[in-house]
Structure 1
Amino acid sequence: MPRLNREESQARTKNLLIEAARDEIVRKGFAQASVRDIADAAGFSQGAFYSNFPDKEAILLELVQRHQSEERAKIEAALSSAGGDVAKAMAGIEKWAATINSDPAFAVLAIELQLQALRSPSFAEGYNELNRKHRRALGTFVTKLFELFGKKPPADPVDIATGFIALGRGMALVSKDGETSRSGRIMVTFLKALIGSAPADGGKK
Structure 2
Amino acid sequence: MARLNREESQARTKSLLIEAARDEIVKKGFALASVRDIADAAGFSQGAFYSNFPDKEAILLELVQRHQVEERAKIEAALSHAPGDAAKAMAGIEKWAATVNSDPGFAVLAIELQLQALRSPSFAQGYNELNRKHRRALGLMVARLFELFGKKPPADPVEIAAAFTALGRGMALMSEAGETSRAGKIIVIFLKALIESAAETDS
Please indicate, yes or no, whether the TM-score normalized by the shorter chain is above 0.5: yes
Q: Gaps (5+ residues) in structure 1? A: none
Runs of 4+ in 1 over 4 A off after TM superposition: none
Please report how far the alpha carbon of residue 80 of structure 1 lies from its aligned counterpart in structure 2 after TM superposition. Answer: 1.4
Tell me how far apart the structure 2 counterparts of residues 82 and 142 of structure 1 sit (CA, whole Å): 16
2:139 aligns to what? 139
Equivalences for residues 6-25 of structure 1 within 5 A:
6-25=6-25
2:76 aligns to what? 76
Tell me how far apart the structure 1 counterparts of residues 18 and 33 of structure 2 sit (CA, whole Å): 13
1:165 aligns to what? 165
Equivalences for residues 25-44 of structure 1 within 5 A:
25-44=25-44
SS in 2 for 1:51: helix
1:188 aligns to what? 188
1:123 aligns to what? 123
Please report how far the alpha carbon of residue 56 of structure 1 lies from its aligned counterpart in structure 2 after TM superposition. Answer: 0.1
2:55 aligns to what? 55
Return the letter of the residue paired with 1:198: A
Return the letter of the residue paired with 2:199: P
Aligned residues: 203
The question of 1:178 aligning with 2:170 is answered no
Stretch moving more, 78-87 or 151-160? 78-87
Tell me how far apart the structure 2 counterparts of residues 77 and 197 of structure 1 sit (CA, whole Å): 25
Q: Gaps (5+ residues) in structure 2? A: none
1:65-112 per-position Cα deviation (integer Å, ceiling 9, x unaligned): 000000000001111122111111001000101111111111110110
Return the letter of the residue paired with 1:31: A
1:95 aligns to what? 95
Return the letter of the residue paired with 2:54: P
Please report how far the alpha carbon of residue 177 of structure 1 lies from its aligned counterpart in structure 2 after TM superposition. Answer: 1.2
Q: RMSD in angstroms over aligned alpha carbons?
A: 0.6
TM-score in terms of structure 2 length: 0.99
Tell me how far apart the structure 2 counterparts of residues 136 and 107 of structure 1 sit (CA, whole Å): 21
Tell me how far apart the structure 1 counterparts of residues 170 and 89 of structure 2 sit (CA, whole Å): 25
Tell me how far apart the structure 2 counterparts of residues 116 and 72 of structure 1 sit (CA, whole Å): 24
Tell me how far apart the structure 1 counterparts of residues 39 and 176 of structure 2 sit (CA, whole Å): 32
Tell me how far apart the structure 1 counterparts of residues 176 and 21 of structure 2 sit (CA, whole Å): 25
Percentage identity across paired residues of the two chains: 84
